[in-house]
Structure 1
Amino acid sequence: MVVLKLQSAQFFTAPCEIRSRKRGNGQKFSRIIRCGIAEASGEPAPLGQKTKYNDGPFEKVFMTLFAKKMEKYANSKEQTKKIGWWDFLYDYERFVDASKRVMQGKNRMQQQLVVREVLLSMLPPGAPAQFRKLFPPTKWACEFNASITVPFFQWLVGPSEVVEVEVNGIKQRSGVHIKKCRYLENSGCVGMCVNMCKIPTQDFFTNEFGLPLTMNPNFEDMSCEMIYGQVPPPFEEDPVSKQPCYKDICSMSNPSSSLCPKLLA
């Protein structure tokens, strides 16, 4: 069953391919569409450019579900123009816009609590306890979760791959290297990366699921490394706590501050 699910997920997250071929009298075409990253190179765009994606129904459903749950905590009404196959489906721009509106008027801890509530609301009752039983913090559990992160979360963070890491002196394939994080790339905001993704995701896996997770974003190239099995450091000891804004691309940046203002409170 696991193999079948992974294969299904990979179909929806593979690079976009559109193939047409004649059939019958040559007037009709059958078309195969796979959606995901749509760059000609198959790789994320260079830093400073936004990577092109071709999202399918699978991706848009998840974007819509997450965004609508986050909008319950937003302080302002949606202003982004509706784009998509149907009005009720969100595209990635609207998903990121929902995150930005959640940040407004909330401090760092409040933003993180919103994400925790959203994540819990996506799960059936008792799911964290069941997860703890199925996936105790063993090498196998860490490697398994790394392997399913790649196909199931490509819609959110972009292309990634499982890599070998060292956890407590033991080498294991429980690392996930995100080549260029789609969320960071589209938001252009350090605070959103840290408060709406890194910290709440780490805390959720570590404290709710009982499976330690550390995320190390690289703000130089927008890549990120996820390490299952590694306990995250306290925020005050994490290098991200000293990270300045993307002054040229973040609409919420404070050019006069040496730190991202969203990390200060």
Structure 2
Amino acid sequence: MRHDTARHTTMAAFVSGQGVGAPARRERCGEQVAQSRRVCARAGGWSRARIVRAGDSAESEEERVARELAEVYARIDASALNAVFMRTFARQMAAELGAPPSAEGYAAVVELARRLVAKLRTGEEISAASRRILDSLFPAWFPAAFKALFARPLPRFSLRMNALVTVAATQWLMGPSALEDDGLTVKVERCRFLEQTGCVSVCVNACKRPTQAFFEHSLGIHAHLEPDYNDFSCKFKFGERPPPEHLDDALRAPCLAICPNAATATATADTT
């Protein structure tokens, strides 16, 4: 019964954009984004080199940035709705893998994502499993209903609604994000999921590919996810068709120096 309640809560938040119109929610999201940007400014930019180089002169600054980011994430994780999203997502990941995580909270999501990449042989298999996880978060009737009620008759509205819901409902996973002036692009300041998994294959095969496929095939809209592996930011460009995989730079990136799956990861398109 708890599983159904959590799934319905997740579904209701997606359809209604729960919290998007609430001033208090917008204020909290704005504070989180603003603090993330202040941390970024003090650190002199989100440089991957600052994170992976041992003995760098900015090491104490890195520690301060890490502490301040931890405070931002703690506030995000304290939200009851975010906790529902996190538990539901982790439960569906564990169901796909056939075993529960040993960790709790966000650490469980990171553990499960790494296990997914380590267990499956190719990027295509990882993407297919991740797509099943995304689909399992919604009732079977939802994709057809969304396309009939929104995507086909109201394409522009559907794109903007998905952009707004992405900002409101995914900060627990990716950290602070904001809608850009065009109303269709979501800018993730510094993707928590990418940084904490430390793996390009997780980003590409467990997030970018399946999410783009979910939007196109399940919801009937286009979205291009554009991660930046240098500063861990990401853009969700709603209404933009993703480029062919052989032309997508995100799929041809080498493993990060901090990647724990470097020996087994299959990050690029030509290894799938």
Q: TM-score range by the shorter chain?
A: 0.7 to 0.9
CA positional deviation for 1:124: 1.4
2:8 is matched with none
Q: Which residue of 139, 149, 173 maps to 1:156?
A: 173
CA positional deviation for 1:105: 2.6
CA positional deviation for 1:152: 1.4
Does structure 1 residue 251 correspond to structure 2 residue 266? no
1:59 is matched with 82
Does structure 1 residue 97 correspond to structure 2 residue 120? no
Query: In 2 relative to 1, CA 40–114 (structure 1 residues): closer, same or farther, beyond 3 Å?
Result: closer
CA positional deviation for 1:186: 0.9
2:140 is matched with 125
Query: In 2 relative to 1, CA 40–124 (structure 1 residues): closer, same or farther, beyond 3 Å?
Result: closer
Note the alpha carbon deviations across 1:77-123, whole angstroms, 9 max, x for none: 6343xxxxxxxxx3111111111112223121111111111111111
CA positional deviation for 1:154: 1.1
2:127 is matched with 112
State the identity %. 29
Give the length in aligned residue pairs: 226
Q: Which protein is richer in strand relative to its size?
A: 1
1:235 is matched with 245
CA positional deviation for 1:183: 0.6
The 8 Å contact of residues 147 and 219 in structure 2, kept in 1 or not, is answered as: yes
2:267 is matched with 262
Q: Which has the higher contact order (CA 8 A, sep 6+)?
A: 2
Q: Which protein is richer in helix relative to its size?
A: 2
CA positional deviation for 1:72: 2.0
The 8 Å contact of residues 75 and 105 in structure 1, kept in 2 or not, is answered as: no
Query: In 2 relative to 1, CA 75–120 (structure 1 residues): closer, same or farther, beyond 3 Å?
Result: closer
1:175 is matched with 185
CA RMSD of aligned residues (A): 3.0
2:57 is matched with none
The 8 Å contact of residues 214 and 230 in structure 1, kept in 2 or not, is answered as: yes
Q: Which whole-Å CA distance do the structure 2 matches of 1:162 and 1:37 have between them?
A: 11
The 8 Å contact of residues 36 and 189 in structure 2, kept in 1 or not, is answered as: no
2:163 is matched with 146
Which ranges in structure 1 are unaligned for 5 or more consecutive residues? Answer: 18-35, 81-89, 165-171
Query: In 2 relative to 1, CA 233–182 (structure 1 residues): closer, same or farther, beyond 3 Å?
Result: same
CA positional deviation for 1:175: 0.7
Query: In 2 relative to 1, CA 77–174 (structure 1 residues): closer, same or farther, beyond 3 Å?
Result: closer
Does structure 1 residue 74 correspond to structure 2 residue 115? no
Q: Secondary structure at the match of 2:216?
A: helix
Q: Which whole-Å CA distance do the structure 2 matches of 1:202 and 1:235 have between them?
A: 12
Q: Tell which structure's C-alpha radius of gyration is larger.
A: 1
Q: Secondary structure at the match of 1:199?
A: helix
Q: Secondary structure at the match of 1:161?
A: strand
Q: Secondary structure at the match of 2:226?
A: strand
Query: In 2 relative to 1, CA 115–6 (structure 1 residues): closer, same or farther, beyond 3 Å?
Result: same
CA positional deviation for 1:139: 2.4
TM-score by length of 1: 0.74
CA positional deviation for 1:6: 1.9
Q: Which moved more, 1:101-110 or 1:7-16?
A: 7-16
Which ranges in structure 2 are unaligned for 5 or more consecutive residues? Answer: 1-14, 52-61
CA positional deviation for 1:233: 1.8
Query: In 2 relative to 1, CA 95–42 (structure 1 residues): closer, same or farther, beyond 3 Å?
Result: farther
Q: Which whole-Å CA distance do the structure 2 matches of 1:232 and 1:40 have between them?
A: 28
TM-score by length of 2: 0.73
Q: Secondary structure at the match of 1:183?
A: helix
Note the alpha carbon deviations across 1:106-158, whole angstroms, 9 max, x for none: 12111111111111111112100111123226223212221221111111111
Q: Which whole-Å CA distance do the structure 2 matches of 1:244 and 1:215 have between them?
A: 18
